[in-house]
Structure 1
Amino acid sequence: MRRGAFSAAGIAAALSLALTGCSSSSGPAPSTGSGGSAGKLVVGVTSDPDTLFPWKATQFQAVNVLQNLYGTLTEFDKDLTVVPGLAESWETSDDGRKLTFKLRQGVTFADGSAFDSMDAKDSLELIMDEETAAVARTSLASVKSVEAPDASTLVLELTGPDAALPANLASVNMAMISSADSEAGLSTKPNGTGPFTFGKRVASQSITLTRNDKYWGAEKAKVASVEFRVIPDESSIVSAMQSGNVQLAVFNDPLVAQTAQGGTVTVAKTPQLNYHVLQLNAQKGDLKDVNVRLAMQCAIDRKQVLDTAALGEGEVTGPITAPAFKSDPDKRPCPKRDLAKAAEYLGKAGKPGGVTVKTIVSQGEYATSVNEAQNLKAQLAEAKINLELEVLESGAFVDRWVAADFDAAVALNGGRPDPDGSYGRYFTSKGNLNKVAGYSSPELDELFAEGKATTDQAARKVVYDKVAAQLEDNAAWIWLFSGFTYTATAQNVRGFVPMASGSLQYLRTTSAG
């Protein structure tokens, strides 16, 4: 999903902020005028969020809802440049071992309580606590301590320079919550500092957010409410848009997008950082043998998967999709399908008769999953590798995925502007999602540490090229392709900005009327 249309300059700017600091009084929202609309915006989605607790959200729909309810210390603008969020500025010490944030004053949570540095300190310390099981814990691995010397100052003492930290803090998985709140309470009634507040939820049907008139940003949300309406499949969402019952939707399936375009519906195509991947758990069964994994890698024609599942809308990708650090997919074992080489690897593994790999597939979270899985199954069968597919509802898939209860998984993973944010939590030995990744090595541990400690962007690119080579040469996963999202809007919808990250944060600037 990373094409020329995406701004690499924005990424460069984001990284330069990591150690030079930033100062501003405004957040990322573009100017679209002041005041709000009395209208209601209905967004069509195919699945219900599997959690309302931001520190554990991995499902795309959960993230899309929660990023409109919660605030983070830093944020991304439309070009994925790091900009101020709940922290209006920050400074890094000369040795890179201290990061000092100046927090906004006058910010309140949805329940009316004030946000201050103790809320930020408690939030970060709980995310860092292994018992919390926060999915972004590894992103704070460089943080030695958190101090709150006064109500508007937050100080992070680091073990060493961390060039990725400002960007990593922009994830909703790093949301700031009130010190008075608990996971149990927030799982049913979110309480954030975002542009919207939690309204009501009808399980498996809808979630409604209401405008936060006390939002700290210069501009309040344009619509009085946003309803995320659950509709089983993307084609049904198109019908709902054509009948006027839904005003906005984001599609993954290019064929559905083609059917949506026209009449009262406009479709915008946006390259994405997200990547489609066949995840392999190197801790399970035959996949423990690197030769089996390499056999699978060599037996797959990635372009065929792209053409079959997404009508060729996208490009074959390597592990790192951010433009400033992008991997070269030709620098991998078997950049083109090679069945003879696949057979050779199976022979080295002592499995010339083939293997069976149990594979989970999500149905409902994104449109191309089942087609991808079926194409992969057909291709691998020609190499005597049987993908035994188990198609799961989105929530069940996420549960199995988080528990690493799979041999392989057909997945669409969210990419990030910084490679450390994308993979540090997966492929380092102490990464909090390493159990899910199923692979780590001392070499990768050293490379990820070097990448965080290096401030020069060109030097970081060299480091992450080595990371990509390690992942590909060991077939940790099989990266397939990246594509597009297709944002469909009704005639009365204005001001929504699609993002390469897939974020729906610009619902705050969207009007419907």
Structure 2
Amino acid sequence: MCSRLMADTDKPTDEQLSGPVVDRRTTMSLLGAAGLGAIAGCTGGGGGDGDSDETTAGSDDGGDTTTADEGAPSMGGRLKAGWFTGSIDELDPAFISVGQFFQLAGNVFSGLTKLGPDLEIVGDLAEDWEVTDGGKTFTFQLRDDVTFHNGVEFTAEDVKYTINRTISEEAPAASKLSSLQPIEEGGVEVVGDYEVTLRWEEANVTSLVYLTRGPGRAATIVSKEAIEEMGSDEYSVTPVGTGPFEVTGHDVGSSVTLDAYDDYFETDEDGNSLPYLDGIDVQPIPEPSSIVNALRSGDIHFANMVPLQNLSQLESDSAANADRAPGINWYGLAMNQDREPFGSRQVRRGMAKIIDNERFVETAYFGNALPDTGPINKGTGWVWRDDKPSDQDFALEEGMSMLEDAGAADASFSILTAESSLRQAKAMRQQLNERGLDVDVEQVTSSTYWTRYEEGDYDVTISGSVIDPDPEQSLWNFYRLPDEGGVWNWVNYQSQEAHDLLAEQRAETDRDARRDLLHELEDTLIADAPHAYLVHQDDIAGVRQEVGGFKHLSGLRNFHQVYLDE
């Protein structure tokens, strides 16, 4: 049934898209159109054993991978969590550009909608909604029992404020709102305290999926009062949301403290208040062996990521497990086109062709990744293809000849990296030095890394998209022109063709036609090589046996139904 639903190209009707529940069949079609097919369990399991269960793998948190004994959840206790990074610098959802920060902030905020346990779109802050005008107008009826963590009541004005702030401050999430009508011309209309209407310039059947709960998404609601009182800098560190946990402490680089929000509005199916936990104590742990040793010893209950070089330790451990979900991401060698010799397309393509991706997967990822020469991942099965253009295929002699002709066969440059990706940087350096290039690794702290990357103060680095499961979401911010929406275009890629194709595919509601446009876009990117595309990495978390209720959706770490059975 799953493959048949995903093959549907019929545009859902306004009635099918309206609330309070969008049925499973329609949601499956929307997920396919949005590239979220892996969430639906159609491309392999979301759990640690690799099973694909259509009933659970597409819930708000993914497949049920509970490790504690099933039964009534235990109430109370504090989850000790390790985050595989040097620091957690940004928790304001509109401005997060680092996947690991997304994972934590998702427990602090709510969206207008979310995905329910049976793959239906259900309300989060919205109780009901109506879609009219051929999919261009969405009117949401909002809950009237929600407060922010500062005690201020949530109303429709907060929806308008959130969207207006995201657009006016040109936050990364603004790209998801580019087809919204101008706000003051009816794009967002507050109809009443608990009713708000969104109007789009053109129909987009996937827009309802993009309004689901998730950090970095367009309708992750923030608190106007808190931002005005605290200021943006403080809010970015200790934000105020309406989610199950509130930030009660944040010492950047040392710890984040989340406490259960007593007035959180959601309950479980038995009417019990959520969350089950009293709180979560998060410790950044950038050293690979340290985070795994802490998990095995019980110093932490949960690791948001498992360093691949230590994965085998968990696979043989009786007290802690490696929990896998399909990787909906891409990673590549980002080449700064403002630094010589990477302004030359011939050099960038030559670089791509001298990299052996299969060898790189074995040395850098211990085989836990899929080598690839393009950015569209296998999780988005409706647009994935094995027969991508050969412009970046490994061909050592051809690649070296291209570099020699461009005068770059002995180029000297550095790979910028933080500790969390040091192994990948060293594996890349080894290959490139073997080719006669003069390459070194420059390791910096996590915060310094992101500052320098965003400011273009680097030669090359290994980076990519880590959470966005729709092809547009993983490409739009990276490859739009830098001054026209490419907020993560830190390689300074200048292609009007790619820019226009991104806009064209966004407006295309027929999935087959959109797939063709995305293939044309991927062809362009592979040929221009703003990145030498490398891999799609598996998403692996570490979970101790006493942790129950964790449901793994690739890229996210949601804890509102997690409990401890100690």
Letter matched to residue 176 of structure 2? S
State which of 511, 525, 534 in structure 2 corresponds to 1:480.
534
Pick closer, same or farther for the CA change 1:422–1:323 going to 2, 3 Å: same
Q: Secondary structure at the residue paired with 1:227?
A: strand
Deviation of 1:61 (Å)? 3.1
* Distance in 2 of aligned mates of 1:13 and 1:106: 38
**Is the 8 Å Cα contact of residues 303 and 542 (structure 2) preserved in structure 1?**
yes
* Distance in 2 of aligned mates of 1:436 and 1:405: 10
* Partner in structure 2 of residue 337 of structure 1: 394
> What are the equivalent positions in structure 2 for 1:358-437 lying under 5 Å apart?
358-364=414-420, 369-429=421-481, 430-437=484-491
* Distance in 2 of aligned mates of 1:11 and 1:504: 26
Deviation of 1:79 (Å)? 9.4
* Partner in structure 2 of residue 138 of structure 1: 175
**Is the 8 Å Cα contact of residues 73 and 563 (structure 2) preserved in structure 1?**
no
Pick closer, same or farther for the CA change 1:480–1:217 going to 2, 3 Å: same
Pick closer, same or farther for the CA change 1:488–1:434 going to 2, 3 Å: closer
> What are the equivalent positions in structure 2 for 1:87-106 lying under 5 Å apart?
87-106=126-145
**Is the 8 Å Cα contact of residues 416 and 422 (structure 1) preserved in structure 2?**
yes
* Distance in 2 of aligned mates of 1:400 and 1:361: 10
The CA RMSD over aligned residues, in Å, is 3.0
* Partner in structure 2 of residue 237 of structure 1: 291
Deviation of 1:14 (Å)? 13
* Distance in 2 of aligned mates of 1:295 and 1:211: 52
Letter matched to residue 416 of structure 2? I
* Distance in 1 of aligned mates of 2:162 and 2:367: 43
Deviation of 1:512 (Å)? 0.5
State which of 196, 202, 210 in structure 1 corresponds to 2:259.
210
Aligned residues: 498
Deviation of 1:246 (Å)? 1.2
Instruction: Report Cα offsets for 1:292-336 as digits up to 9, x if no partner.
Output: 110011111111110001111221132112423444364133454
* Partner in structure 2 of residue 264 of structure 1: 319
**Is the 8 Å Cα contact of residues 380 and 470 (structure 2) preserved in structure 1?**
no
Pick closer, same or farther for the CA change 1:358–1:243 going to 2, 3 Å: closer
* Distance in 2 of aligned mates of 1:432 and 1:125: 19
State which of 66, 80, 101 in structure 1 corresponds to 2:105.
66
Q: Secondary structure at the residue paired with 1:42?
A: strand
Pick closer, same or farther for the CA change 1:463–1:417 going to 2, 3 Å: same
Relative to the length of structure 2, the TM-score reads 0.80
Deviation of 1:121 (Å)? 0.4
* Partner in structure 1 of residue 60 of structure 2: 28
* Partner in structure 2 of residue 508 of structure 1: 560
Letter matched to residue 213 of structure 1? D
> What are the equivalent positions in structure 2 for 1:52-201 lying under 5 Å apart?
52-76=91-115, 83-129=122-168, 132-144=169-181, 145=183, 146-170=188-212, 171-173=214-216, 174=218, 175-182=220-227, 183-201=232-250
* Partner in structure 2 of residue 346 of structure 1: 403
Relative to the length of structure 1, the TM-score reads 0.88
**Is the 8 Å Cα contact of residues 283 and 439 (structure 1) preserved in structure 2?**
no
Higher deviation after alignment, 26-35 or 117-126: 26-35
Instruction: Report Cα offsets for 1:137-162 as digits up to 9, x if no partner.
Output: 22211112221121222222222223
Structure 1 gaps, min length 5: 1-6
Deviation of 1:212 (Å)? 1.7
Letter matched to residue 264 of structure 1? A
* Distance in 2 of aligned mates of 1:25 and 1:460: 26
* Distance in 1 of aligned mates of 2:9 and 2:440: 42
Pick closer, same or farther for the CA change 1:91–1:416 going to 2, 3 Å: farther
Deviation of 1:189 (Å)? 2.9
Higher deviation after alignment, 133-142 or 307-316: 133-142
* Partner in structure 2 of residue 309 of structure 1: 364
Matched, 1:44 2:96: no
Q: Report % sequence identity.
A: 24
> What are the equivalent positions in structure 2 for 1:211-230 lying under 5 Å apart?
211-219=260-268, 220-230=274-284
**Is the 8 Å Cα contact of residues 9 and 511 (structure 2) preserved in structure 1?**
no
* Distance in 1 of aligned mates of 2:245 and 2:425: 37
